[in-house]
Amino acid sequence: MGTCIRNLSGGAVLVAADDTWIEGKAIQQLETTARLGGMHRVAGMPDLHPGRGYPVGAAFFSVGRLYPALVGNDIGCGMALWRTDIPTAKLHLDKLEKRLGNLDLPLDETWQEAVASFGLPATGHERSLGTIGGGNHFAELQQLDESYDDAALAALGIERKHLLLLVHSGSRGLGEAILREQVDLFGHHGLEAGSEASAHYLGRHDGALRFAEANRQLIARRMLDRLRADGDVLLDINHNLVSPAQVDGLDGWLHRKGATPSDQGAVVIPGSRGDYSYLVQPIADERSLLSLAHGAGRKWMRSECKDRLASRYSVEQLSRTALGSRVICADRALIYEEAPEAYKAIDSVVGALREAGLVRVLARLKPVLTYKTRGGCC
């Protein structure tokens, strides 16, 4: 295995092992962001892949300026892990799938009190609360497959005999509207730290974080309700955000775009919907800008997935995975875009983090039932 923390041009750093798939375009985008005004350091995670102008799976630390476009449109996107009281013994996937029903519609009036309990300010995006959204978002029942630290799992309250629930979603249309406002007003030039404009953005940004956290909680509660089960949240970590931070002794702004914080306790790094997810204990390290991969990372562009896979797999085949799990995805284009082949192998991503000394792996989690969408499209 080669060195897992590599130096690129422009002072950029990349966390990757020899077997981690990294696209050249993503490296170029990372080096481009390193040259932005006020940018002090950038770090690519092993799930790095090209985005719209800026890479996904990276952290960016700047001084004196901050860049809403580096956080992207899904402000507050993150992972919440719940433990449930659903027994892993004698699982009936047909029953669970039927009970889940449709989770794409807005929450009905019986949820009013639960929604109000978050005390969110009115945004006009209330109809999105409790819905997962599209793209790589999902909610997945999982089971503990392999423990590497029984004591740590016991401390977290994770047991083999009950299913876990992992929710990956964000601020839906709200974050998108906030970024659109920024791009309309200021283009991609970023904001002067301390300015009125930056205070305005940060205020809306913080509102989107709270909205996204509430959304994940409502998604989990709604699923547990449908499954006639109960549960508790174990962790909830945002991976698209900007926060004040000190790096190299400098006060500045740490942007994370598909980069999971490594200074906030245990996190889950999910693979694709047909792959394992890993529960890891981060080891905070400034070399990676206090960040980790947020998932497997795309290997193929969305637009090329159906052409590559349509001759090999039917939609029905893609709804059953090699690990024995099921994927509920009524959107025919999306199920190809989200096929396991379109993503990097999670072992190559988590392996790079482990070899770089950035995580201790606590457990391997196996997918049981994934909800993407029941709506279908067009």
Can you say whether residue 4 is alpha, beta or left, with left for phi > 0 and alpha for psi between -120 and 50 degrees? alpha
Residue 74 or 275: the one with the smaller Cβ distance to DNA is 74
Residue 38 or 134: the one with the smaller Cβ distance to DNA is 134
Residue 12 or 56: the one with the smaller Cβ distance to DNA is 56
Q: Strands 56-62, 162-169: parallel, antiparallel or unpaired by DSSP?
A: unpaired
The candidate with the shortest Cα–Cα distance to 253, out of 197, 183, 191, is: 191
Asked whether the beta carbons of 359 and 350 are under 8 A apart, the reply is: yes
Nearest approach, Cβ of residue 50 and DNA (Å): 11
Question: Which residues are near DNA by CB under 7 A?
Answer: 56, 73-74, 77, 124-125, 127-128, 133-137, 169-170, 172-173, 176, 377
The candidate with the shortest Cα–Cα distance to 159, out of 89, 93, 92, is: 89
Measured distance CA(279)–CA(81) in Å, rounded: 10
Asked whether the beta carbons of 276 and 365 are under 8 A apart, the reply is: yes
Nearest approach, Cβ of residue 371 and DNA (Å): 14
Asked whether the beta carbons of 254 and 66 are under 8 A apart, the reply is: no
Asked whether the beta carbons of 279 and 266 are under 8 A apart, the reply is: yes
Residues 40, 125, 255, 294: which is the catalytic one? 294
Nearest approach, Cβ of residue 90 and DNA (Å): 33
Residue 70 or 193: the one with the smaller Cβ distance to DNA is 70
Active-site residue flag, 294 = yes
Nearest approach, Cβ of residue 233 and DNA (Å): 20
Which residues are known catalytic residues? Answer: 294
